[in-house]
Structure formats: structure tokens, C-alpha cells
Chains A and B, each alone.
Chain A
Amino acid sequence: MGWDFNLLYNLISTAFGWWYIIIPAVILGTLVGAVPGFNAANTLILLLPLTLSMKIELAMVFMASLYCATQLGGGIPAILVNIPGTGGAAATTLDGYMMAKNGKAQQALVCCFASSVLGGLITSIVVVLAMPYLVQMSFYIRSVEMVVVMLFGLTLIAVIAAQDMLKGLIAGFFGLLIGAIGADQIYSTPRATFGFLELYEGVPLVPALIGLFAISEALAMIDKPTILTEEGKARAVTVRWADTIEGLVISARHWWLITWTAFVGLIIGIIPGAGASIAAFVAYQQTRTFSKHPELFGTGIPEGVLAPESSNNGVTSGSLVPLMAIGVPGGSTAAVMMVVLQYQGIVLGPRLFIQNPELAYGVFISMVVAYIFMIPTILPLARYLSRVTLIPTQYLAPLIIGFTTVGSFAPREYIFDMGLALVFGIIGYIARRTGYHVTAILIGIILGPIFERYLMRALRISQGDISVLFSSTIGNVLWVLLVLSLLLPYLRQRRMRKTTAG
């Protein structure tokens, strides 16, 4: 396929001309991403009256820019108060929050912003250039491969909770079973709903996320006057521009890490249904596996922020690839965009790139431009946002509980969901205190319904024959990687023990 550079130039200059759409979308997206309970999909649903009345090119630019910014915004509360704004930022809490506790919130935020922008920028450019080839990937991933991808995600949970892999697996499978609550997909019979109609559609993700992360964290943080360590407190009171620059230097030094984890996100994003939460954990785990100092992960190191943030922004561009190329939305946000495109009579698929290249490629070009605009808009905020860590917990805990409990009502508008958030908060608090990863439980809940959907599809195709799960080459390769992911940390630990004993 030859490239029309005139078209490319026109698209770039037009996208820069739409700054008045992109900048408000970036600011709104960052705010929305930072508030648990809100995400790009439900915000775009709320804004449908606006986007449906706009010119389709402008509507797509607005939606794409907002989508990019929400992924970035999700990292802000993950770092400052250990609450991921979106599921994709759950992995960021592992090291981001520890950095904040050590008084390095500003550096962590800059690392988050820089890696998000770079990761998104790189993958958006790659998507524009390699679109026809990337589309092919989504054809090779079927239900069998997806089942293994899901299980791969679960093993990562155990590896991430490597201090005690067994506890990590118990937490993950407990989450997976909670995720299987609700009516089954074939007969619509309720399973384990405790008699609540509100659970027929399954466990809602937002109350689960808010409970496991926000409420449990608020319940735990009141033991101390602030969330900072003694050393961190001394460092956090003096906020300087030098810390912002230090964050930028750290990010620049890890440019290769940002690049390859962005590609991890891009590839996972292209697979419909996989999503940012899996991508971020895959990136985190792979970074730790190949790191020279894996034992430092979880103690507050920048690599633990850079990898998941770059990766979840890589997903953003990736998830739009199957939407534009074959008309299959890669995630819920892409599905909302599809509604707008279909309302305007746009037929999605390969012909779109021939008949309306301005729109097809324009979406990805506008993402590139949105990421460029994010640098001056968001970066200076790190200095001021980092002050949140200084708020005494006697104010911070009620603020977190108040806003997030109310936030858990917003997506479905059931008071029941607020009670559910409290239940998950108590489970999360016990899990935190006893060394069961709350992240593992959450990822289990996220994967539960997706896992069942693909498992059912694979089993129905094979008429209940479980050996279908080992019938594809890609699937088998993934099985081997899965086993290796479980074994490698164990073998490494054993070798280290032997070396120490020797």
C-alpha cells in the first residue's frame, strides 16, 4: 500500500486546527479518568446528545481525544491515594502509590504523564502507518486463544503477588468466582445472586473497584496521621520544579521500556475484549521479569509506573483498530464510538479506508495531536497535584469515602451499589491486612464474565470437548508462556536462596 503524503500532511494540519475541540476534550478526559466511577465510555454516553449533533469528523476527534486523556487521568488517583481511576490504572498503584508514600509523588506523576503521552504517541503513529497489517492480527485470535489469554492474565496476578504466590492465586480465583455471579449466558438463570435482582447482570465493576481500592484504603490509612512515611514527609513538603524535571529525566532514560510496553498495549488492545487492565499487568509483569532488580518492584520504583501507564495508553489506539477496520469494537468506549459512527451512516470496514480516508486515518492522527497537546496541558499539574499526599488522613479518609461511595451510584443509579461498595471495602480491608492482593481480586472480577463468554464459545464449538483448548498453535504457545510465567519466578527464587545459602 502506498502512502499519500499530501493526505497525511492535510490530516495533521487539520487536526492541529481543531485545538479548540481537542484541548477541552483532554481536560475533561483527564478529570473523568481521575474520578473512580467515571470512564470514557460512560462519559461519552452522557455526551451522546452533543456528539451526535456534531459533524462526524469533529465528533470523532472529540471522542478519541477524551478517550486518550481518560487513560492518563486514571493514573493520578492511583499514584496519589492508591485508587485507580480506571481498571487500566490498577497496576500503577503497585509502585506509583509507594513512590507517593516515599515523598516522590511529583516524580511518579511526571513518569505517569510522560509514559502515557509517549506510549500513546508511539502507538498512534504506528497504527497510522501499519493499519492494514495490524488488522490481520484480530483475525487470528479466536475464543480458544482468548481463554488462554485470560488464564495468562490470572497467572500474572499470582506472579505479581509473588511474596506469596498461593495467596495471589486464591485471591485471583476468588475474584474470578465473584465475577461469575449473575445470570448465565445461555439460559439466563441466576447464579449466586443472594436473591438480589441488582446482581442478575453480574457484579458491577465500579462498586467493586471503589470498595476494594478506595474504601479499603481509607479504612487502612487511618492508623497513621498522613499516608506518607517519615522520610517521605520531609521530601514531600518541599515541592520543586526540579522534581518535575527529575521525572522527565527518569522517563527519558527509560525510553526503550516505554516503547516496548506501549507495543504490548497496542497488541493486546487490538484483541477485542482484552482491554487496558490486562495490558497494564502484562507490561508490569514482563518488565519485572526482565528487570535487573525484580525484587525492587512494589517498593516504589519508576519502572513500575512507566510500564503499565505506557501500556494502557497503547491499548487506546489498539482498541480502535478492529473498530475502524472490521467494525468490531475493541472495548466499551469503542462501542460508543461505533454508535455515533453508525448514527451518521458510516459503514465501518476496509472500504472506509478507501472511500473516506480523511475520517479513517483522521481519528488516529487526532490521537497523535491530542497526545502532543497533553504535554503542555497536563505536565505542569504534577507539582500541584502531589500536594494531595500531605492532607491529614482524618480529612482524606472521609473525602475519599464520601466521593467514591457517591461515585459508585453514578453508573447504574442504584443505592444498592453503594452498599455493595462497602461490602467490597470490608473484603478489601481484610485482604490488604492479610496479604491477599486486592488487585488480584479486582482483576479476577474483571476477567470473570469475559472468561466465561470465551470458554462457553470454545466449548460449544467443540460440543463440550475440553481438549479444544489445546487445539490451536497460538493457544499452545500461550499455554507454554503461561506455565513459564508461573515457574520462572519460583525457579529464580530457589536459585537466589541457593546462592545465599552457598
Chain B
Amino acid sequence: MTADSDKEKAKHQSIGADLVIPAMAVAFTFYYFGTIWDLGWEAKSNGLAIGVTLLLLIGIFLIRTVLQLKRGEATLSLEKLIKPRESQGRRLGLIMAIIGFIAVLPWLGLTLAIFCFMCATMLVLGVRKPIALLATALCVAAGAYLGFIAILNTRFPHGPVENLLARIFG
């Protein structure tokens, strides 16, 4: 039974998602060629050599894919990327939280922004214990403040927390 289902699975591999990276690579290669076309040979020989090789490899890959489809061994479904479906919402939530974190960082400052980011991502991932959630977010925010602002003195944007602590500790 298992062997049969394995055979069936192997017979119908979903390879649509496998084309995403080659598609990105082709788009990027043509964009790259567009930016080097008018340059001297020294500036474009490296990019051309790599780009042409990449296009050749993708060409071979496409031929292989077409043959697989023709033989009925594969389908063009995006299964590899969209399954398991129940995690997709959380994954999208994580990405949105990262975008939000980067967007609000200049206004909130590192400490407050990372605190909010940690709370948001843990909520998205299903943490519902308020103490665990707040304690983890607080520890990370404190660690980020100590490591990046107080000790390493990096140029992270300062917000209300950093300004307040700077006033307290001089």
C-alpha cells in the first residue's frame, strides 16, 4: 500500500514551484544585462559570462521539466510552496511583522520597536500566555538595548525609551 502510494507520488511530482527560482534568475539576468549593455568590456565580461552560463543551465532545466511533464511524471502545481496551508497565514504574519518592524524603527527607536515586534510575532505564532510573552519580549528588548546601544554604541535610531534612559543615566 505504502509502496504503491510512493510510486504514485513519484509519478506525479509537483514541480511548478521549482520554476520560481529559475524565473527570478532569468528576470534578474536580463535586468543585469540591461544595465551593462553600454559599458566597456572590462565592466561587462564577468556579468555576461555568468549570466549566459546561468541562462544555459536554466534552459537545460526547462527542457528537463518539459520532458517530465510530457511523460506525465509531473504536474505544474505549486504544492511545495503552499503546503501546509494552515501555516501560510502565520508565515505571512511573520513577514508583515518584519516589514512593520523595519518601517516603525526610525520613529519608535530600537528598544520599543523590537519589543513590539516580539509581541506581535509571538501573538501571530500562537503564544497566548501574557507573562511568557511580555517577559520574552522585554528580555530581547533589554538585550538589544544593552548590546547595540549601551555597549556597541551603534547608530540605531533612538526613540522614547533610548532618550529616557539617556536622561536617567546621563
Binding site for B on A (CB under 8 A): 46, 166-167, 169-171, 173-174, 176-178, 180-181, 184-187, 189-193, 215, 218-219, 222-223, 393-395, 397-399, 401-403, 405-406, 409-410, 413, 415, 418-419, 422, 425-427, 430-431, 433-436, 448, 451-452, 455-456, 459-460, 464
CB neighbours of A435 from chain B (8 A):
18
* Residue among A193, A397, A436, A452 making CB contact with B94, cutoff 8 Å: A397
Interface centre among A406, A410, A419 (most CB of B within 10 A): A406
CB distance from B139 to the nearest CB of A (A): 9
Interface presence of B11 (CB below 8 A): no
> Cβ of B39 < 8 Å from any Cβ of A?
yes
**With A187-B42, A433-B80, A455-B45 given, is the CB distance from A406 to B98 under 8 Å?**
no
> Could you name 6 residue pairs across A and B whose Cβ atoms are closer than 8 Å?
A174-B24, A177-B54, A180-B46, A418-B102, A434-B81, A460-B42
Query: What is the CB-to-nearest-CB distance from A473 to chain B, in angstroms, rounded to a whole number?
Result: 24
Q: Is the CB of A180 within 8 A of B32?
A: yes
- Which chain B residue has the least Cβ–Cβ distance from A397? B125
B47 partner, pick from A177, A219, A394, beta carbons under 8 A? A177
Given known contacts A174-B54, A177-B54, is B43 in contact with A426 (CB within 8 Å)? no
- B126 touches which of A181, A394, A459, A464 (Cβ 8 Å): A394
Alpha-carbon distance between A286 and B65 when the two chains are bound, in angstroms: 31
Q: In the complex, are the beta carbons of B127 and A395 less than 8 A apart?
A: yes
Q: Is the CB of A192 within 8 A of B32?
A: yes
Residues of B within 8 A of A (CB): 17-18, 20-22, 24-25, 28-29, 31-32, 35-36, 39-47, 49-51, 53-54, 57-58, 60-61, 64, 80-81, 84, 87, 90-91, 94-95, 98-99, 101-102, 105-106, 110, 114, 117-118, 121-122, 125-127, 132, 136, 140, 143-144, 148, 152, 154-157
A451 near B46 with CB under 8 A, answer yes
Establish whether residues B81 and A192, one from each chain, have CB atoms under 8 Å apart when the complex forms. no
Indicate whether A187 sits within 8 Å of B39 (C-beta atoms), given known contacts A397-B125, A406-B148, A434-B18. yes
Query: Total number of A-B contacts with CB less than 8 angstroms?
Result: 179
Partner of B98, one of A215, A222, A399, A436: A215
Residue of B nearest to A396 (CB): B125
| A419 and B102 contact, CB distance less than 8 A | yes
- Which of B36, B44, B105 is A415 in contact with, Cβ under 8 Å? B105
Task: Please name all residues of chain B whose beta carbon is closer than 8 Å to the beta carbon of A464 when the two chains form the complex.
Answer: 41, 45
Question: What residues of A have a CB within 8 angstroms of the CB of B44 in the complex?
Answer: 184, 191
Which residues of A are found within 8 Å of B46, using beta-carbon distances? 180, 451-452, 455-456
Q: Which of A171, A174, A187, A425 has the most CB of B within 10 A?
A: A174
Cβ contact within 8 Å between A405 and B101: yes
The complex places the Cα of A399 from the Cα of B125 at a distance, in Å, of 12
A166 and B61 in contact, given A184-B43, A455-B46 (Cβ under 8 angstroms):
yes
Give the complex CA separation of A419 and B105 in angstroms.
12
Give complex CA distance A105, B2 in Å.
32
CB contacts (< 8 Å) of A451 on chain B: these are: 46
Instruction: Give the complex CA separation of A222 and B162 in angstroms.
Output: 32
Within 8 Å by CB of A402, from B41, B45, B87, B117, lies: B117
A459 to B105, alpha carbons, bound, how many Å?
46
Task: Give B110 Cβ to nearest chain A Cβ, in Å.
Answer: 7
Provide the residues of chain A in CB contact with B64, threshold 8 Å: 166
Residues in A neighbouring B22, C-beta threshold 8 A: 170
Inter-chain contact A184/B39, CB cutoff 8 Å? yes
What's the Cα separation between A176 and B47 when bound, in Å? 9
Q: Once the chains bind, are A415 and B106 in contact (CB under 8 Å)?
A: yes
A181 closest partner in B (C-beta): B32
Residue contact B21 to A171, C-beta cutoff 8 Å: yes
**B25, A170: Cβ atoms closer than 8 Å:** yes
B138 to chain A, nearest CB (A): 12
Judging by beta carbons under 8 Å apart, are B35 and A191 in contact? yes
A455 CA to B45 CA in the complex, in Å?
9
Evaluate contact between A218 and B94: CB separation under 8 angstroms: yes
Contacts of A185 in B (CB 8 A): 42
A219 touches B94 (CB 8 A): yes
A170 and B43 contact, Cβ closer than 8 Å, known pairs A402-B117, A422-B95: no
Which B residues touch A394, using CB under 8 A?
Answer: 122, 125-127
A426 to B92, CA, bound (A): 11
- Residue of chain A at shortest CB distance from B52: A173
What is the CA–CA distance of A349 and B11 in the complex, to the nearest angstrom?
64
Whether the pair B40, A173 counts as a contact (CB closer than 8 A) is no
A residues in contact with B53, CB < 8 Å: 173
**Further 7 A-B residue pairs, CB within 8 A, beyond A166-B61, A191-B36:** A177-B28, A187-B39, A191-B32, A192-B28, A406-B156, A419-B102, A434-B17
Q: Which residue of B lies closest to A184 (CB)?
A: B43
Report if A431-B43 is in contact (Cβ < 8 Å); known contacts: A174-B54, A192-B31.
Answer: no
Q: Kindly provide the distance from the CB of A282 to the nearest chain B CB, expressed in whole angstroms.
A: 21
CB <8 Å contact, A170 and B21:
yes
Note all chain A residues with C-beta closer than 8 A to B35. 190-193
How far apart sit A268 and B35, CA to CA, in the bound complex (Å)?
35
Complex Cα spacing A398 to B29, Å: 34
Across the two chains, which residue of chain B brings its CB closest to A426?
B95
A189 x B43 contact (CB < 8 A): yes
Tell me whether A406 and B32 are in contact in the complex, defined as CB-CB below 8 angstroms, given that A219-B91, A398-B125, A455-B45 are known contacts.
Answer: no
Query: Which chain A residues border B58 with CB–CB below 8 Å?
Result: 170
Alpha-carbon distance A190/B152, docked complex (angstroms): 32
Cα A190 to Cα B43 with chains together (Å) = 10
In the docked arrangement, what's the CA distance between A452 and B44, Å? Answer: 10
Distance of B125 from chain A, by nearest CB (Å): 4
Given A192-B31, A402-B114 in contact, is the A434-B50 Cβ separation under 8 Å? no
Neighbouring A residues of B61 by C-beta, 8 Å: 166-167, 170
B127 touches A433 (CB 8 A): no
Bound complex: CA of A403 vs CA of B117, how far in Å? 11
